[in-house]
Structure 1
């Protein structure tokens, strides 16, 4: 059924069509920014042609994604794109928080603001794409040559919105909060003592909330030896060393609606323009090095020993990318990982 577009959507569709002709290689997220709109609104302009609006409980939809077989999961934020191929396995939900815990696809899903869903077909590429109330991408699932296209078609048919002519309303995104220069009244000794008493890396978020600290503020007041700043250009040497040693690492990329994790080695690494890339058969990472305002090596105590991570933070104070050595609860981190960091990173002055 063809959609009858509102005048606003018709005008946007025309501008989007013209833009693609002039800028065929520009990604839709960047195009949305240039057209002063959102990625979801650009997709909505294609409803009735190559886009189908989805409806229903997205938790139930995600539970069925395993039927598609081998797919590519994509999660991104403003500065980094994480693409991991595999099968959705061990899917569970507790209210609106979901887990996908397969050996390849490893996700933490926060569906409280998964507002819109679309099935998209473009250049023989088929995908399920989910967006929050601001029209920003939460998570995307692409078919591969190994996927079950029949299962995909059945899933899209099951969750297609009965009314494809709906007007979609997007919330304006709040202005980003400016990080306060002044620290709150901080009991540094108490904060550091609680850091040293951590039992789980996840408790670090609770610690920041308790002391009302931003990420940068917390790292600057870490116990001696538990956080130090490194040069933003350190990531390429780290990736190269990890590849040479075939050391399995964990790569976390998050946005407010999803965390996606790759665990394993990395191999093909190269720089193209501002992007530092990992381009392996089952895992791709695209990281904008110029978005790294601060990079830190951070050590956190756990019941399994110290866990060492690299954290990348943007100019707004948002931590957008994390790296660890491969580990599981109950198993200490790989001894080679902190040793590799020490010999490859360049400490900031």
Structure 2
């Protein structure tokens, strides 16, 4: 069996080398798609070379990340990538076992859902730009959940703590270091078809929300897909805008120095940007924020629908822009910066109102 495993891993690794030879510079995620496997399966073929398989209590691994010092945290889905440079600071774990969740507050801010954490790897790879070291987490389907990259010292900014990284790798090193993993399909939450949803009851619940966090519970109670809910609320709490609106929103926020919030992630990790954005650039199909400690990369060609969404709260209406792909997946959300107990920024509301007038 061991020889069969190694033969399979070797064949896949050789196929990957062939893809890289044909497409120099191709990223592992794109190579995996070409080969019809998951990214985690492809990365596993490098275990014993420059990769170490990790296992253990993921909540405890998360708690160790502040010891790394300054790092780059990356979270993505098919359409959007968020990258923050900084430190992991305040970490709170809630719940137990598969239902555990965490909040990370500070320069790197995330919401962690450990049910989506299945495979872990530590990677120490020589690249054309030098040694790249990271901790990478994947879900049961082998899809990337989050990656944390060590940073070199620059100017007056210290680099990551190498000793802390090595200690984490040693503490969470898996007994099984075979160069292969077994992935399984993700079980999706059951939802009704849109014509089976009681739209009247849904809109009544929507109107009576007290907090934006009530929204997900409302969707679950009505067993409705998020995008379907926006269609059912269209004209009352939601309306569509062009995807070109996204660039205008970011450019206007940058020009006005208006602090905003950007949420993007996946079933295991939601990364959040809070603050001003500065440099907005289009590069081919990518809409980018290119700031010193924060990058966003949004694939405009994967944007299918873009919505303005209003949610009632005890502090007044909260307005967001929600972006979906053709598979009904939520790609990214934009809000005006706000804190509990504080109404939405008037500048953000005005920006959305101006956008709405232009769309009319």
- Same fold flag (TM > 0.5): yes
Q: Name the structure 1 match of 2:114.
A: 111
Q: Distance in 2 between matches of 1:315 and 1:176?
A: 18
- Alignment CA distance shift 1:290-1:213 (3 Å): same
2:278 corresponds to 1:267: yes
Q: How far has the Cα of 1:4 moved from its partner?
A: 9.7
Q: How far has the Cα of 1:177 moved from its partner?
A: 8.9
Q: Distance in 2 between matches of 1:14 and 1:346?
A: 55
Q: Name the structure 2 match of 1:332.
A: 343
Q: Name the structure 2 match of 1:216.
A: 227
Q: How far has the Cα of 1:222 moved from its partner?
A: 2.0
SS of equivalent to 2:93: strand
- The answer to whether the Cα contact below 8 Å between 2:88 and 2:106 also exists between their aligned partners in 1 is no
RMSD (Å), alpha carbons? 2.3
- The answer to whether the Cα contact below 8 Å between 2:6 and 2:179 also exists between their aligned partners in 1 is no
Moved more, 326-335 or 205-214: 205-214
2:138 corresponds to 1:131: yes
Q: How far has the Cα of 1:99 moved from its partner?
A: 2.5
Q: Name the structure 2 match of 1:186.
A: 198
Q: Name the structure 1 match of 2:177.
A: 164
Structure 2 matches for 1:185-204, cutoff 5 A? 185-188=197-200, 190-204=201-215
Give TM-score scaled by structure 1 length: 0.92
SS of equivalent to 1:328: coil
Moved more, 242-251 or 144-153: 144-153
304, 308, 314: which one aligns with 1:297:
308
**Structure 2 portions without partners, runs of 5+:** 153-158
- Alignment CA distance shift 1:165-1:334 (3 Å): same
Q: How far has the Cα of 1:166 moved from its partner?
A: 6.5
Give TM-score scaled by structure 2 length: 0.90
SS of equivalent to 1:332: coil
- Alignment CA distance shift 1:245-1:134 (3 Å): same
Pairs aligned (count): 345
- The answer to whether the Cα contact below 8 Å between 2:45 and 2:180 also exists between their aligned partners in 1 is no
Q: Name the structure 1 match of 2:123.
A: 120
- The answer to whether the Cα contact below 8 Å between 1:307 and 1:333 also exists between their aligned partners in 2 is yes
Structure 2 matches for 1:19-30, cutoff 5 A? 19-30=19-30
Q: Distance in 2 between matches of 1:105 and 1:280?
A: 15
- The answer to whether the Cα contact below 8 Å between 2:191 and 2:225 also exists between their aligned partners in 1 is no
2:286 corresponds to 1:286: no
2:334 corresponds to 1:323: yes
- The answer to whether the Cα contact below 8 Å between 1:179 and 1:316 also exists between their aligned partners in 2 is no
Deviations 1:18-68 (A, max 9, x none): 222222222211110001111001111111111111111111111011000
Q: How far has the Cα of 1:306 moved from its partner?
A: 1.0
- Alignment CA distance shift 1:175-1:20 (3 Å): farther
Q: Distance in 2 between matches of 1:215 and 1:27?
A: 31
- The answer to whether the Cα contact below 8 Å between 1:229 and 1:347 also exists between their aligned partners in 2 is no
Q: How far has the Cα of 1:315 moved from its partner?
A: 1.1
- The answer to whether the Cα contact below 8 Å between 2:101 and 2:112 also exists between their aligned partners in 1 is yes
Structure 2 matches for 1:75-114, cutoff 5 A? 75-94=75-94, 95=96, 96-114=99-117
Q: How far has the Cα of 1:220 moved from its partner?
A: 2.4
Q: Distance in 2 between matches of 1:329 and 1:74?
A: 26
Q: Name the structure 1 match of 2:45.
A: 45
**Structure 1 portions without partners, runs of 5+:** none
